[in-house]
Amino acid sequence: MQPIEQTGAFYLGRRYDAVAGAPSGDLVMYDARDLTTHAVIVGMTGSGKTGLGISLLEEAAIDGVPAIIIDPKGDIANLALTFPDLAAGDFAPWLDPEEARRQGLEPAAHAEAVAARWRQGLGEWGQDGARIARLKAACAVTVFTPGSTAGEPVSILASLQAPAGGFAAQEEALRERIRGTVGALLGLAGVDGDPVRSPAHIFLATIIEHFWQQAQDVQLADLIRALQEPPVRTFGVFDVDTFFPAAERRDLALALNGLMAAPGFAAWLQGTPLDIDTLLGSGDGRPRHAVMSIAHLDDAQRMFFVTLLLEALLAWSRRQAGTSSLRAVLYMDELFGFMPPTANPPSKVPLLTLLKQARASGLGVVLATQNPVDLDYKGLANAGTWFIGKLQTERDKERMLEGLAAAQAGASADPAQLSAMIGGLKSRVFLLHNVHEPAPVLMHTRWTLSYLGGPLTREQIRRLGGGSGLAPAQAAAAAMPPVGAPAMAAGPGAPGLVPAQGAAAGGEPSPVAPALPASVPQAFLPAAGAAPVYEPLLAGLATVAFVDLKRGLAAEREVALALPAGAATLVADWTKAEPLAATTADLAAQPAAGARFLPLPRGWDGAAFHKAAAKGLVDHLYQRERLEVLELPLLKLVGEPGESRDAFLNRARLAARERRDAEVDKLDAAMQVKLTRLETKQQAEQRDLAEDQAELAARKQEEMLSAGESLLGMFGVLGRKRSPGLATAARKRRMTARAAEDIAESQAQLAAVTAELERLRAQLQADVAAINAKWEQALAQVTTREVAPRRTDVQPAFCGLLWRPAGGVRA
């Protein structure tokens, strides 16, 4: 019997016998790598479309493939309802009490009936609670609720962060991203903004590009201020007031400010950042299926979020190395409105671009819809797999056939055959047309491992994870800084209205700065207001380089430390220093007008003290600074500077899957040669056995006729005709015996060949399982390596007296 667990293959169901009207015994195993050419699922309500989509995602999860899932209706959130024990108590909280009443059952009896039905359904499809446990162990599921705290909220701030690597290196791609982001933002504000004709769209896009070219992050407040005081004064050949008059800019500023001031807008700025690596990783080492539940949002909010998500996903996919393996999945449960054939909403461009380009990075896009009219078939021309379920009208079937003919999956198909197959579809029966397979097949979907309880409400989503969607350990891991990122926590003197963390011990401020030798460096942090009172700090800012030639690693880290006056000693003790969230760009050479100065601690005005402090800073950083880098020796993978743990694990997981697939392919190719030879021999032995059995039957018949003739001859029945006699009968018996011996020999040879075939197949299965186990355990070998700097790699940028406003610093 064909096993349902096969490396790199998704168990989706069984082939369907249209004549018998029932599933056959042949499993439908879908090659995961085929999904990199994308897939489309079409079927009316009740067709089983949701069950098929969840089955596909379950298989991806078991294989360790992460996914981002856009769930407009709340159905796909059922992925979180997995109960390995299949106990009634697990199902009970998710059942509808009204359904129990309609069936005349008590809640406990209803729960037991549902649990029994799920146990039976799984059993009929060769599955059980152990497979559910494997699913849960292999992949985390988090339900995110952007704009709401019912599930895990999503912070959209990352969408306006300046791109890493500079603007010029990725100018075209970033302009596409800006266009989509601005279009979504204007839609959320209720402004119709055409990317080519709308002054509002062009203005905001230009402002974001202006900030990004200077490597500055953008916030909504920055855009509102830019509308009032534009940092760019010329648009084309017109000045800003001609191109986009001040009154119109004011109206747009008020609209955006209304968004920002709305009580519910705060939910868009908290939670997990809209960072793809973070979303695809669970923080505990497992991949994650991130379900973006948007059922609670209105149409404008949905378009806003989906566009931002697609733009982020597109930017992420462009940063990934090429692969033929399935790296991740984007699943969109209802396409309606996001890629219409006759309009161009902000979500359409990034979605079409993903369909064209994401294959190279191993991102598989799966789009589902219940209405064939929703699809832009020209945009879906690259879809290699189509799952077509029961359709509502004859017109829907015709539209589906037209679209399929335009797509690459329909290039080799017979339209008449497809029409006949689609016309007879029933619930949970789909036409699977895969460009990588020779012909389309009918399939019946398997029973899902997840409990399909219908769309989850916000209250039910809240119940899933206590309103966060993350376990405490996962939340803590998600909050960890990227590996290799600067170890600079917010501290005293941090720009952004940070209160002072203490002042010089004793003394009154003086309008005259203390006199210092010319050799003593000093600088000033910007003040929040006029006539500030400065307190002294001993500050050290340096660049520390980390180099590991063996691993090809080179990184730099900016470090800023400060000793407050209250911790002053005759010799600078940098072990007591606090992190200082400032850079050399924040340091001014002159104090603010009308400033006053607190007294210096004893000894801080001496050149010798500062010279020794500078040397001590270098010694301290040389001895203490370390760059922690993740490493997986088995795959010769080393974490990149600034790469988060989730990003590294996602990269390592893909590399392990590629190595696994390559080893399995090599093993399978070698074994198939032996299996083919044995199967050919088996077929020959079966033919020989059939011939021997036919020979035996003929010999027996001849023997019986010969014996009959001999008997009749003895009694003279045959008259004068000569009888064959006893000798002939004996010869016939010997020939019959030899034929029987030939059968026994053929049976023995067939049994030997069959046994060898079974042994080889079992060996192949065991060897594949060993390969799977090896690469599944590979991620457990991830280690953290510390890279130390050389003394010459510590380069001080400033070490001296730093004056900090006692009331805070300017944002």
Least confident among 123-132, 182-191, 503-512? 503-512
**Cβ density class 416-434: b for 16+ within 10 Å, e for less:** eebeebbeebeebbbbbbb
C-alpha distances (whole Å) from 181 to each of 83, 157, 290, 304, 671 are 39, 12, 21, 8, 52
Kindly state the average pLDDT of the residues 31-38: 95
pLDDT tier for residue 496 given thresholds of 50, 70 and 90 = very low
Tens of pLDDT, residue by residue over 187-198, are: 888 887 778 889
- Which residues lie across from 365 on neighbouring strands? 330
| Contact (Cβ atoms closer than 8 angstroms) between residue 99 and residue 123 | no
Q: Are strands 627-632 and 637-638 parallel, antiparallel or unpaired?
A: antiparallel
Residue 282 is predicted with a pLDDT of 85
User: Residue 15: in which H helix or E strand, if any?
Assistant: strand 9-17
497 has a pLDDT exceeding 60: no
Q: Would you say residue 748 has pLDDT above 50?
A: yes
Question: Which comes out higher in pLDDT, residue 685 or 326?
Answer: 326
Nearest to 207 by CA among 172, 180, 234, 187: 234
Most confident among 101-110, 403-412, 748-757 (mean pLDDT): 101-110
**Which of 133-142, 479-488, 635-644 has the highest mean predicted lDDT (pLDDT)?**
133-142
> Are the beta carbons of 536 and 504 closer than 8 angstroms?
yes
Judge whether residue 182 has pLDDT over 50: yes
Q: What's the pLDDT at 758? A: 87
What is the model's pLDDT at position 571?
A: 85
pLDDT over 60 at 796, yes or no: yes
pLDDT at 329 over 50: yes
Q: How far, in Å, CA of 791 to CA of 547, rounded?
A: 12
Average pLDDT value for residue range 761-783: 85
Report, as an integer, the average pLDDT of 585-593. 90
Lowest mean pLDDT among 348-357, 748-757, 782-791: 748-757
Give the bridge partners for 308, in sequence order. Answer: none
Mean pLDDT of 95-111: 92
Q: How confident is the model at residue 705 (pLDDT cuts 50, 70, 90)?
A: low
Q: What is the mean pLDDT of residues 748-765?
A: 86
Given a cut of 80, is residue 166 above it in pLDDT? no
Cβ pair 368, 106 in contact under 8 A: no
Domain range list for the chain: 10-120+295-454, 483-626+788-811, 645-782
**Cβ neighbours of residue 291 under 8 Å, at least 6 residues apart?**
69, 71, 76, 77, 79, 80, 141, 142, 143, 144
Q: Band the pLDDT of 704: cuts 50, 70, 90.
A: low
- Rounded to an integer, what is the distance from CA 151 to the centroid of its chain? 18
Task: Specify the pLDDT at position 680.
Answer: 87
pLDDT tens-digit series, residues 418-453: 888 887 899 999 999 999 988 899 999 999 999 999
Q: What is the DSSP letter of 47?
A: S
- Which has more pLDDT, 404 or 547? 547
> Considering the chain, what is the average pLDDT of its residues?
85
What would the 3-class secondary structure string for 332-365 be?
ECCCCCCCCCCCCCCCHHHHHHHHHHHHHHCEEE
193-214 pLDDT tens trace: 778 889 999 999 999 999 988 8
Query: How many CA atoms are closer than 13 Å to the CA of 487, on its beta-carbon side?
Result: 11
Confidence of residue 699 (pLDDT cuts 50, 70, 90): low
**Contact in structure between 311 and 159 (CB atoms under 8 Å):** yes
Report CA 578 to chain centroid distance, whole Å: 38
Look at residue 298 in the predicted model and tell me its pLDDT: 92
Do residues 353 and 316 touch, judged by C-beta distance below 8 A?
no
Rounded CA separation 75/96 (Å): 15
The first and second tokens of residue 25, run together, are 């015994």
pLDDT of residue 492: 34
Q: What pLDDT, on a 0 to 100 scale, did the predictor assign at position 16?
A: 95
Q: E strands, 507-654, where?
A: 522-524, 533-548, 553-564, 578-579, 596-597, 627-632, 637-638
Confidence of residue 732 (pLDDT cuts 50, 70, 90): low
Q: DSSP labels for 408-433?
A: GGGTT--HHHHHHHHHT--TTEEEEE
> 421: which strand partners?
none
Q: Quote the CA–CA distance of 116 and 334 in Å, as a whole number.
A: 31
The pLDDT, as a whole number, for residue 224 is: 93
Nearest-10 crossing angle of helices 171-188, 348-357: 150
Q: Which residues pair with 11 in a beta bridge?
A: 29
State residue 718's pLDDT score. 53
Q: Do residues 712 and 718 lie in contact, with contact meaning Cβ atoms separated by under 8 Å?
A: yes
Q: Which residues are registered as beta bridge partners of 5? A: none
Question: Superfamily for 10-120+295-454?
Answer: P-loop containing nucleotide triphosphate hydrolases (3.40.50.300)
| pLDDT given for residue 507 in this prediction | 73
User: What percent of the chain is predicted at pLDDT more than 90?
Assistant: 46
Share of the chain above pLDDT 70, in %: 88
